[in-house]
Amino acid sequence: MTDIRAALGDYLIVRRALGHKLAGAEYLLGQFLAFLDQRGAARVTTDLAVAWATLPAGASAAYRAQRLSAVRCFASWLQTMDPSTEVPPAGILTARPARAVPYPYTDGEVAALMAAARSLRYPMRRYTYQALTGLLATTGMRIGEAIRLDRGDVCFDAGLVRVVGSKFGKSREVPLHPSAVEALRRYAERRDELCTGPKADSFFLSATGTRLVYRSVLSVFQRLLRHAGIGPRSEQCRPRIHDLRHGFASRTLADWHRAGADVQALLPLLSTYLGHVDPKSTYWYYSDSRVIPILAPLRVWRACGLG
């Protein structure tokens, strides 16, 4: 098993060098190798892979397929060095792709989320989640990108934020609406007043002066949704923090459409702004862009006293 564990380390290094994060895959494959240890197995076989993938009782078909997919990718790479490795055939465990139905936040709902942040217990947390929600809604940044921002990445004079080493290793500069610049400037002033000795160089700080953690942000966002009275529109359409990004992209496309612009020609610009590798990743937003009202950035910031 030592050789397989060493191979896993090399596999992760190579794929991450190509821009893949693989945090989930590393966790799953670590569990799989522990499973092989328990079985006394020295190589990957299809039977063992399927047995491990279907191990969790009550797991959804999608999750089981995800587990097997992680093994298949690793096994395909491992087989080039060890021909005795078996690669589980595609289609053994299938699950219909379940892309979430986007929840199109209205400008009133975004403002309600930012206002709900005032109910949070600690002043730093209140200001942080007001500013963070506003930034996500008016720029379409990924939540991971926003919480990784350092202080030097927010350039007030230039009116932009620098996103460094994001998904697939891409970096970019994201221009800001003037209302967003002013709101973030005010947040920074309040942040520095509340926390004179931060524990991280992060632009957005937690109540304890540390960088925000993704899981904690998701948990707080669910609280904000409940406080704002925002719930599912259907079983398939449930509000998520990622839908702030979807809403920005859809509204931008709708704005161009209503203005009579050549959307096809402008799509690569939006792809670059959002940090997509290929414009095809951006095009699917267009399917519902005509029914989402335009978000006025200045109105949203002002509604919460941040602009």
Calpha distance 172→303 (Å, rounded): 29
Please indicate whether residue 280 is annotated as part of the active site.
no
Catalytic-residue membership of 258: no
Q: Distance between CA 236 and CA 243 in Å, rounded?
A: 13
What's the confidence (pLDDT) of residue 274?
80
Closest CA to 208 of 287, 288, 128: 128
Q: What local confidence, expressed as pLDDT, does residue 299 receive?
A: 47
| 148 belongs to the catalytic site | no
Catalytic entry in 127, 129, 276, 286: 276
142 is catalytic: yes
Given this model, what pLDDT does residue 48 score? Answer: 95
Write the single-letter amino acid at 293.
Answer: P
Tokens of 266: 């402008």
> Could you tell me the strand order of the sheet in which 154-155 lies?
154-155, 160-163, 172-175
Residue 167 appears among annotated catalytic residues: yes
What gap in Å lies between CA 84 and CA 144, rounded to an integer? 39
Model pLDDT, residue 98: 56
Residues sharing a CB contact under 8 Å with residue 188, sequence separation 6 or more, in sequence order: 151, 154, 203
Tell me, what's the pLDDT at 278? 60
The DSSP annotation for 129-196 comes to HHHHHHHHHHH---HHHHHT-BGGGEETTTTEEEE-S-GGG--EEEE--HHHHHHHHHHHHHHHHH-S
Q: Which residues pair with 154 in a beta bridge?
A: 161
pLDDT recorded at residue 247: 85
**Following CA atoms 250, 221, 161, 165 in sequence, which dihedral angle do they give, to the nearest 10 degrees?**
-90
Digitized pLDDT (tens) for each residue of the chain, 307 residues in all: 448 999 999 999 988 887 777 888 999 999 999 999 999 999 999 999 999 999 998 888 888 999 999 999 999 999 999 999 999 998 888 766 556 788 889 889 999 999 999 999 999 999 999 999 999 999 999 999 999 999 999 999 999 999 987 766 678 899 999 999 999 999 999 999 999 999 999 999 999 999 999 999 999 999 999 999 999 988 778 999 999 998 888 888 778 888 888 877 877 788 877 877 665 656 555 554 433 333 444 444 444 444 4
Predicted pLDDT at 286: 55
Q: Tell me what pLDDT residue 187 has.
A: 98
- Separation in Å, CA 297 to CA 124, 149, 173, 187, 294: 23, 20, 19, 16, 9
Q: What phi and psi, each to the nearest 5 degrees, are found at residue 154?
A: -100, 110
Residue 29 near residue 70 (C-beta atoms within 8 A): yes
**Phi, psi (deg, nearest 5) at residue 258:** -70, -25
The answer to whether 53 and 68 have CB atoms below 8 angstroms apart is yes
Contact 217, 204 (CB under 8 A): no
Q: Which of 242, 283, 299, 302 is catalytic?
A: 242
Other residues' Cβ atoms within 10 Å of the Cβ of residue 101:
15
Catalytic residue among 64, 72, 125, 245: 245
User: How many Cβ atoms sit within 10 Å of the Cβ of residue 186?
Assistant: 17
Locus of tokens 């940044």: 141
Catalytic residue among 20, 162, 167, 238: 167
